[in-house]
Amino acid sequence: MTDDEIIEACRKIARKRQAPPPTPPEAVAKAEHVIGFAFPPLLRRLYTEVSNGGFGPTDGVLPVDVGQWHEHIAEAYEYGPDPTGGVPAGVVPLYDWGCTMWSMIDFRDPDGAMWSNADGDCWPQGVNLAQWLLAAMDGELRFAWPNGVPPENEWHRPETAAQHQES
């Protein structure tokens, strides 16, 4: 799927969810200043052409600014990168799975390599933003555990698109 096709698919999902309108480019520039890295191009387009969050799995990714939600994409960087070094600079929270589990995006990579973070541990997922979004649209997205092995009672799974539409 091309970036244009992903944008259009996300736009349809955002409309169904009644997600907020797109983010002004100035808000993206402000977030980039706080984070210290430019948004990967596809992510920039999603925010400025589709919606200020709300696209992606279940209830959607974090917004660029806090106009409608309490958390936002640059919030983790308001006081600089992770001082412990546990999260590499430029790796930014994108989707909250709950229970201190996150899907994160690498702003240092123009393709937006995706990372996982759970309880302070951070590791690459092995997919980029486009692949991650496609898995969400196909109902196949799961939290990416290290070595693909979840704890014995994994319960952190978003609804599939079909389940979400039924509810």
SS3 102: strand
**Which letter does DSSP use for residue 80 in this model?**
B
Q: What percent of the residues of the chain are helix, what percent strand, and what percent coil, each to the nearest 5?
A: 35, 20, 50
- Cβ neighbors of 158 (< 8 A, separation 6 or more) are 57, 58, 97, 136, 141
**pLDDT tens-digit map of 97-127:** 888 889 999 999 999 999 999 877 899 999 9
**Model pLDDT, residue 26:** 94
pTM of the shown model: 0.84
Percent of the chain with pLDDT over 70: 84
